[in-house]
A and B are shown apart, each in its own frame.
Chain A
Amino acid sequence: MTEPLNLERRAAVWEALSELFVGKELQDYDYAGIAKTLRASGYSIDELEKVLREEVAPVFRSNLSALAVPEMEGWAQDTVVKEIRAYLERERTGISRLLMRLETSRALPDAATKRWQRIRSLLS
């Protein structure tokens, strides 16, 4: 997405998408709530997927790794915004830019993929 970041619009999307990386089992009402927030944002599904892969997943995917003791209840919007902005605003040159590209091209963790598929089906 190349347009300037509309933080207010994006923050709610970031918070909703970060829930795909929590350790607890998401319930029907969670999926419905996430889908509702995403729909209200006005972004298309493709745009949302790009935000998920390029902005949210690189920051939160570690919560779903085999090494992590996962956070269950998710993160407050302030925390989500702070973490993602820090990730996006980090200055990158050479290898770190390459690593960032690799990071964003990686497949999502299994649990996040399944959850995203379900959200997609609710959105379409």
Chain B
Amino acid sequence: MIGKSQRESEHRSRQPKKNGKMSMADTHTATPASGEKRALEEALAGLQGTASQFGATCINDARARLQYARDIAAVPGELRAAIDAGRISVSDAAAQASALRNRIMELARRRSSPTARAYAMRLKREGRSVSELSEKYARRLYGNSFSALSEQRQASVFKEIIQASGRPDEGVMRLAQQLGRAGRRLLLVSLAVAVYDVVEADDKPREVMRQSALAGAGLIGGWAAGSAAVAVGVCAATAPVCVGAIAFVGGLLATYGAEASFGSLYPRPTR
């Protein structure tokens, strides 16, 4: 049985606003009889949260990768300056170049999202030692083993190791910019929907809070779910599809949760 006051409330909620439009938030105003609209609202909120999560993750991963390229490109210059100033020998500088690059890579991977980290770790890496590198470059540059080279040539092998340590391929690094652009587009779409909802809402401060809660929940939920999946062993740290899927579901569930909690903490005012 639907009571009189409830029917009135439903009737009020179905009335279009003065400007004749209904906002995306209004279309699913929660009344007992509007279960489908509520489901639609939750689905849209979930999508929006997931889009924000993907967008922000792409931007973060692109930034980590571009920073990585910048950091490794700076290494040869700094080491050359140290060699010129006599603070370090060429062979020590070559060893440092290799070690620094490995450390920069680890840092960049730690800064990446759980999915990108899992992707990067698919290939177990065992950094190549300086002796391996000197042998490889000696053969490449002079067609001879490193120990058979003159001191001068050995020094030029070390210098090439240092140079090569800061020479990222532009085409490969450009992929990070594309990832960042895709992330920004996704975030813009999500932002546009959020702005539309705020503009169309009667209670604008409440809608701003709601949108922030959805975006935050999607982002944090996705990140936390991905990290937790690796930490508790649901996914191997090297299984990007598993980590990505769990991050996606985590982001979606967190957005649904945020939508439900927000609705009960700050119920939509009746007009």
Contact = CB atoms under 8 A, between A and B. Distances in A.
Contacts of A23: 168-169, 172-173
A102 B174 CA distance: 26
A24 B72 CA distance: 10
Contact of A65 (B119, B133, B139, B164): B119
Interface stretch (A4-12, A42-50, A74-82): A74-82
Given A25-B167, A110-B171, A114-B171, A69 B65 contact: yes
Interface string B159-198: 0000011011111110110110000000000000000000
A95 interface: no
Which of under 10, 10 to 19, 20 to 34, or 35 or more describes the interface residues of A? Answer: 20 to 34
For chain B, which range describes its interface: under 10, 10 to 19, 20 to 34, or 35 or more residues? 35 or more
Nearest to B57: A67
A80 to B, nearest CB: 10
B103 to A, nearest CB: 12
Main SS class of interface, B: helix
B140 A71 contact: no
Contacts of A25: 167-170
Question: Which 3 A-B residue pairs are closest in the complex by CB-CB distance?
Answer: A66-B175, A66-B179, A33-B140
B140 A68 contact: no
A13 interface: no
B115 interface: yes
B123 A59 contact: yes
Interface in B113-147: 115-116, 119-120, 122-128, 132-133, 139-141
A30 to B, nearest CB: 6
Nearest to A64: B172
B119 A73 contact: no
A32 B52 CA distance: 46
Nearest to A18: B123
A73 B104 CA distance: 13
A59 B179 CA distance: 22
A73 B175 CA distance: 19
B178 A66 contact: yes
Contact of B168 (A30, A33, A62, A72): A72
